[in-house]
């Protein structure tokens, strides 16, 4: 089995509910060992109550495997402001709570649309499935900086690498080795080191560490056909782009998708309608009223409240 880690915050609670529903509908029993919801937010009480009353009922047979974790348990401290940087660090630090040899990382926005099991993510020989992609130009500087940190030559020449998006399978032993390497080298906590270095991102950091160990990628990962297509924020103002991505979900190899919150924030009516149709097609909602609920963006909670649906 695989441990599942989801790092979220109170501005994406509704996405976690849709994700949980997709797990109940499409994950075969025995796929996941434990499900960890890590709260990257100061409002841990709000986050935990929503998980209890809204997410757990959607998880079906997986609800007994859930553990909700405050970011402070992983970071080792309270910080003044959580956000994208702390989210990235927490994805790597989650290795300290998992108990399986591999773990799957999801963002709140991810949800499944076709059946999945352990074989979706791990080959019969035990390698982790990955689909390499061209370097994301938005993050090229991160790739170069992380390669430099680990002494990987010609990091600026890399044109293709593991994705910087979820779902992403991580090897527990490698991730622990990465954290140990950094902490011994810097003589301070991994969380502090990572937060201070804004030229890094979590997945290129992990990738560069593996590149610095000859043959580690080849013995750990196996290239496969892509199994996810997500609707990222760059598509928010283009219905043509959103429709093209939704059409790509017709590929039966695609078992996971996701909708970035910016698409809801922009809120083009055609996009909202097409996404609702997609959810209806895959059985994630039964009515358009439900679509409106999941497409409504809430601000991160600053006080102890939550809304039941």
Per the CB < 8 A criterion, the answer to whether 136 and 145 are in contact is no
Q: 63-74 burial string, b = 16+ CB within 10 Å, else e?
A: beebebbbbeeb
Give pLDDT tens digits for 40-65. 999 999 999 999 999 999 999 999 99
Residue 300 pLDDT? 83
Task: Return the percentage of the chain with pLDDT > 90, whole number.
Answer: 92
C-alpha 186 chain-centroid distance: 27
Residue 138 pLDDT? 84
Residue 304 pLDDT? 45
Closest by CA position to 235, among listed 276, 257, 256, 266: 266
Report d(CA 139, CA 137) in Å as an integer: 5
Per the CB < 8 A criterion, the answer to whether 251 and 227 are in contact is no
Give pLDDT tens digits for 141-159. 999 999 999 999 998 899 9
121 Cβ contact partners less than 8 Å away, ≥ 6 residues apart:
2, 102, 104, 128, 129, 167, 169
Categorize the per-residue pLDDT at 297 as very low, low, confident or very high, splitting at 50, 70 and 90.
confident
Residue 160 pLDDT? 94
Three-state secondary structure call for residue 137: helix
Categorize the per-residue pLDDT at 308 as very low, low, confident or very high, splitting at 50, 70 and 90.
very low
Q: 139-167 burial string, b = 16+ CB within 10 Å, else e?
A: beebbbbbbebbebeebeebeebbbbbbb
Residue 78 pLDDT? 94
- Average pLDDT taken over every residue of the chain: 94
Mean pLDDT score, 10-37: 97
Residue 249 pLDDT? 97
Mean pLDDT score, 18-24: 98
Give pLDDT tens digits for 189-198. 999 999 999 9
Mean pLDDT score, 223-252: 95
Question: Residue 309 pLDDT more than 50?
Answer: no
Per the CB < 8 A criterion, the answer to whether 45 and 16 are in contact is no
Packed helices 202-211 and 140-149: angle between N→C axes, nearest 10 degrees: 40
Report d(CA 91, CA 106) in Å as an integer: 9
Per the CB < 8 A criterion, the answer to whether 131 and 163 are in contact is yes
Residue 194 pLDDT? 97
Question: Residue 97 pLDDT more than 90?
Answer: yes
Question: Residue 306 pLDDT more than 90?
Answer: no
Residue 299 has a CB neighbour count (10 Å cut-off) of 7
Per the CB < 8 A criterion, the answer to whether 226 and 257 are in contact is no
Per the CB < 8 A criterion, the answer to whether 110 and 20 are in contact is no
Residue 305 pLDDT? 43
What does the longest C-alpha to C-alpha distance in the chain come to? Answer: 54
Mean pLDDT score, 80-109: 96
Per the CB < 8 A criterion, the answer to whether 8 and 38 are in contact is yes
Report d(CA 178, CA 172) in Å as an integer: 10
Question: Residue 217 pLDDT more than 70?
Answer: yes
């Amino acid at each position: 089995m695989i441990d599942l880690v989801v790092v979220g915050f109170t501005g994406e609670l509704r996405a976690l509910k849709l994700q949980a529903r997709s797990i109940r509908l499409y994950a075969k029993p025995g796929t996941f060992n434990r499900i960890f919801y890590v709260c990257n937010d100061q409002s841990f009480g709000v986050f935990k109550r929503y998980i209890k009353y809204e997410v757990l009922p959607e998880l079906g047979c997986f609800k007994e495997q859930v553990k909700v974790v405050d970011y402070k348990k992983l970071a080792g401290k309270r910080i003044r402001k959580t956000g994208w940087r702390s989210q990235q660090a927490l994805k790597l630090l989650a290795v300290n709570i998992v108990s399986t040899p591999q773990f799957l990382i999801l963002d709140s926005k991810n949800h499944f649309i076709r059946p999945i099991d352990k074989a979706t993510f791990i080959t019969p020989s035990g390698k982790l499935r990955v689909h390499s992609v061209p370097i994301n130009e938005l993050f090229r500087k991160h790739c170069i900086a992380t390669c430099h940190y680990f002494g990987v030559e010609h990091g600026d020449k890399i044109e293709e690498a593991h994705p910087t998006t979820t779902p992403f399978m991580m090897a527990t032993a490698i991730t622990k080795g990465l954290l140990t390497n950094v902490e011994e080298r810097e003589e301070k906590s991994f969380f502090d080191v990572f937060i201070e270095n804004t030229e890094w991102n979590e997945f290129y950091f992990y990738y560069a560490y593996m590149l610095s160990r000859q043959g580690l990628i080849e013995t750990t990962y196996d290239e496969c056909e892509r199994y996810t297509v997500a609707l990222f924020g760059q598509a928010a103002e283009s219905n043509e782009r959103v429709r093209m991505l939704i059409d790509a979900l017709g590929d039966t190899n695609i078992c996971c998708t996701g909708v970035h919150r910016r698409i809801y924030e922009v809120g083009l009516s055609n996009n909202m309608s097409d996404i609702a149709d997609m959810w209806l097609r895959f059985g994630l909602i039964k009515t358009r009223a439900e679509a409106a609920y999941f497409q409504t963006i809430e601000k991160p909670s600053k006080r102890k409240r939550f809304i039941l649906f």
